[in-house]
Structure 1
């Protein structure tokens, strides 16, 4: 039998976006908007108790992301739990909170993830780096779609 292990970690990523909290929140809540910066979901039910699910293959390996929304406060907070599998192997389980706070230049987003990473199959630093890349992609989308009234700020 293989040695089993679990690595627990918490990481926090903060970003400031030049868009209103309502626009940044909508980029998470609307499936078409979210697909511009995060892998397109096979299932997207954005409500408390709802599910976001996608499965994709990269270099012959199938990855599964299966999230369940636990708390949603429009324009303020999203809390969800999710699992990640690689093929048939569970590689992590996480609890994530995304906060949207009004700032002088738009929105301060605070992303907090608490994860359990199993058997060395995934590493917290890989997840944090991947999340930073997604949040950078979100910034690029928001900048590209900047509304005229927001560009005055």
Structure 2
């Protein structure tokens, strides 16, 4: 399956991927810490933090550690949680002081073949911040992470 990243509008980034698992399973993999720990991030790093309070107003924090000890941590707040359909949340890269949060909407749509079309639509504070993230290797990281999620879903 192909993970596609597009920038259809100013400040916007859309990531799409179809998974060979029903929406309820993809939702579970994305919203239960024991599953997130298995697929989150990139394989070269160690997942060290997966905290989730899955409710509107609840906080989340996911992070990894590099072999040199560098921490890469993202956190935010859930704005809206519609089980098996949609997650709306803010996302902040903690290692970037003063950064404004990104607003993300994830949708879990059933496909005719029993799979899930996962769409992540993010609205960035500026085109510059979005483009900096892409230039820093975000696309390769997202592709690897979604591949890891696909592998995890196959074994659930």
TM-score bracket for this pair, using the shorter chain length: 0.7 to 0.9
Deviation readout 1:61-110 (Å, 9 max, x if unpaired): 33331121111111100111011022x63456211111011111211111
Contact 1:9–1:124 (8 Å) recurs in 2: no
Structure 2 residue runs of 5 or longer lacking an equivalent are: 1-9, 41-46
In 1, Cα distance between equivalents of 2:65 and 2:144: 19
Give 1:48's aligned residue: 56
Give 2:32's aligned residue: 30
Q: Normalized against structure 1, the TM-score is what?
A: 0.75
Structure 1 residue runs of 5 or longer lacking an equivalent are: 1-7, 146-153
Q: How many positions carry a matched residue from both structures?
A: 137
Of 10, 13, 17 in structure 2, the residue corresponding to residue 11 of structure 1 is 13
Q: Normalized against structure 2, the TM-score is what?
A: 0.74
Q: Structure 1 residues 112 and 62, CA, compared in 2 at 3 Å: closer, same or farther?
A: same
In the alignment, is residue 114 of structure 1 matched against residue 116 of structure 2? no
Q: Report the CA distance between 1:123 and its aligned residue.
A: 2.3
Contact 1:11–1:128 (8 Å) recurs in 2: no
Deviation readout 1:28-74 (Å, 9 max, x if unpaired): 11110111111453522111111111454423433331121111111
Give 2:70's aligned residue: 61
Larger Rg: 1
Higher strand share: 1
Of 124, 143, 152 in structure 2, the residue corresponding to residue 132 of structure 1 is 143
Contact 2:48–2:64 (8 Å) recurs in 1: no
